[in-house]
Amino acid sequence: MWSLVNHSEVKAGANAEATEDTEATEVVRWEGGVPPELLRRLKAAFAQDSPFWRETNYAERGYFSFWHDAAMPPRTVVDELATTLLPLTGHAERIVGFEWWVHTRAEARSIGHQMHFDTEEASLAAGRLVHPLVSSVTYLSGGGRSDPTVVFNQRVDDLGADHAHVSHPKADCVLMFPGDRLHCVCPSAPLAEPLAATLTAASPAAPPAAQPPAAGRNKRRKTGAAGGQDTVAQAAGSAGSGGSGGSGGSGGSGLADPSRHPQRVTLMIGFWAEDVASIVRREPLGACGPVPRPTRTCTWPRLLTATPATPAAATQAAGAATSARRVAVPRVEAPWEAVPPAAPDGSGGTGQEEEADPWSCLEIPEARNHRFFLRDMAEFREQLLPSGGLEEEGEEEEEGEEEN
């Protein structure tokens, strides 16, 4: 696993596979499936200096996403992208809507993104667990030492995964996988460059670091490091500045120079076979909310305005889908590794010790707990719904079940 995470040049071979079927039942990666002009507009809309990050208050706000009805004409360039990618899912006839959200973090200097499942917040609050039919990641940046996306062949109730796929960012590449699979962004090894040399004054071009989520946000939260710092450099900078605790917002004294630390920008689209947006009333900048109309103080939607519908645009989109190349995603077997109990003297144990395991008293702060280390696989289910009353999709409630 760590060899694949830290070496993006690892080629598909004995430990990697690409299935030949067109159904999205496996983890697949597409290259060349995004029309060049559409990719250019998406990169501009979510660039480091885009007003999107500031005007949505990305650094402070909890999880938010946007919804588009698949039966309606595209309103934004993201809707155009979803429509273009739809044939590649293998389930075009079943998809009724697209949910999308975007993340940014310093390339090769973050602590990754926690293990999670893509779910729907309102259903989850009611004790019902539903997933997109297909989840996807479109890489708007890539190359170098970008942290990879790791997708485990593991559902909520599984006791582990027999394999996982590791996908390193590369601009114009799209990763697709079944929406009920466990996944994360795994941090790669730290860069060798001295940390102190990377700290500079805040730059207005840098997207602010993401903050820990509000209590109860257990899904696709925008966690960085503890206290909200998204990068190693930011964490060190705020610790020594005595400022706002690394809020990464308008103060930003710990932000690293973005020219030295490019951002890893990813656009996620969940392809839903159920109209989850209609479950509750949706508000802008909430889960499955509408894209707001542009105003003087909310300018970023103008950057996303859909391309006027023309025969040429339709031809280009259709051509991108047919010319997309399906490539193998490196695969690793047995991705979970058992950690032997620690010996009483603090050294690594052999797993045969009868003494109490010192690891049992280790508590990981929630803002830093990405579930890379587990005591039990049940932690994933408990993370989704701590009260435990979770109804699986398609599962009928048992008689007399206590309401949550």
The CATH code of the domain that includes 223 is 2.60.120.620
Asked if the structure places residue 401 within a domain, the reply is: no
Asked if the structure places residue 367 within a domain, the reply is: no
Query: Domain of 203?
Result: 2-333
Examine the pLDDT at 10 and tell me if it is beyond 50.
no
Higher pLDDT, 289 or 205: 289
SS3 assignment, position 232: helix
Residue 311 is predicted with a pLDDT of 62
Asked if the structure places residue 212 within a domain, the reply is: yes
Number of independent structural domains in the chain: 1
Average pLDDT, the chain: 75
Asked if the structure places residue 388 within a domain, the reply is: no
Provide the whole-model pTM: 0.77
Helices (H) and strands (E) in the chain, counts: 9, 15
Examine the pLDDT at 357 and tell me if it is beyond 80.
no
Examine the pLDDT at 118 and tell me if it is beyond 60.
yes
**pLDDT average, residue stretch 247-264:** 49
Residue 364 is predicted with a pLDDT of 78
Examine the pLDDT at 183 and tell me if it is beyond 80.
yes
Question: Could you write out the DSSP letters of every residue in 354-392?
Answer: -SPPGGGG----GGG--SSS-S-TTHHHHHH-TT---EE
- DSSP designation for 147: P
Examine the pLDDT at 191 and tell me if it is beyond 70.
no
Residue 402 is predicted with a pLDDT of 37
Examine the pLDDT at 28 and tell me if it is beyond 90.
yes
Asked if the structure places residue 323 within a domain, the reply is: yes
Asked if the structure places residue 155 within a domain, the reply is: yes
Residue 374 is predicted with a pLDDT of 83
Predicted confidence band at 367 (pLDDT cuts at 50, 70, 90)?
confident
What are phi and psi for residue 302, nearest 5 degrees? -65, -30
**pLDDT average, residue stretch 282-304:** 94
In this structure, of 39-48, 240-249, 294-303, the range with the lowest mean pLDDT score is 240-249
Q: Residue 173 in contact with residue 142, Cβ under 8 Å?
A: yes
Asked if the structure places residue 48 within a domain, the reply is: yes
What are phi and psi for residue 82, nearest 5 degrees? -60, -40
Which stretches within 267-359 are classed as H helix? 300-303, 311-323
